[in-house]
Amino acid sequence: MLPVFSRRGSVPNIVDEFFGRDMLSNFFDDFQTGISVPAVNIIEGKDDFRIEVAAPGLDKNDFSIDVKNNVLFISCEQETKEEKKEEKIMRREFSYGSFTRSFSLPNTVDPEKISAKHKDGVLSIHIPKREEAKEKPPKKINIA
């Protein structure tokens, strides 16, 4: 009788060695759209807030930025189509991807003056603070 080595909840070693551990995950990865929720940096300055969204491979036209009830919504929809014709065989592949991020804005910002730009794979959103919320230098008070 041959000794049997087992690992809990997994495929026997011989299958892992033959196919590799990630065979099935790589197989299904091909069917994903390639869009995931992007990383975001939020920076507070003296006069503003800035949100930087890592968006490599996306175009500025893929994004939509909206403000509703003091909530900033950043969404993206991307559609790609690929069509190949070789002799009698035609193959079409469609890929769709989307995400939405939302951020509650503090009452200290001016939502009417929010601006955005897209450069080198980064979407930057500038959110200025209201004048009364900006940090002011210390004021010297004379004693009478």
Whole-model pTM? 0.61
Q: What is the DSSP string of 39-73?
A: PEEEEE-SSEEEEEEE-TT--GGGEEEEEETTEEE
16-62 tens-digit pLDDT: 443 344 444 444 444 444 557 788 999 999 899 999 999 888 888 88
Asked if 124 and 50 touch (Cβ cutoff 8 Å), the reply is yes
75-112 tens-digit pLDDT: 988 777 677 777 777 676 766 778 888 999 999 898 99
Centroid of chain to Cα 105: 19
Complete edge-to-edge strand list for the sheet that includes strand 63-68? 63-68, 71-86, 89-104
Residue spans per domain, the chain: 34-133
Q: What does CATH list as the number for 34-133?
A: 2.60.40.790
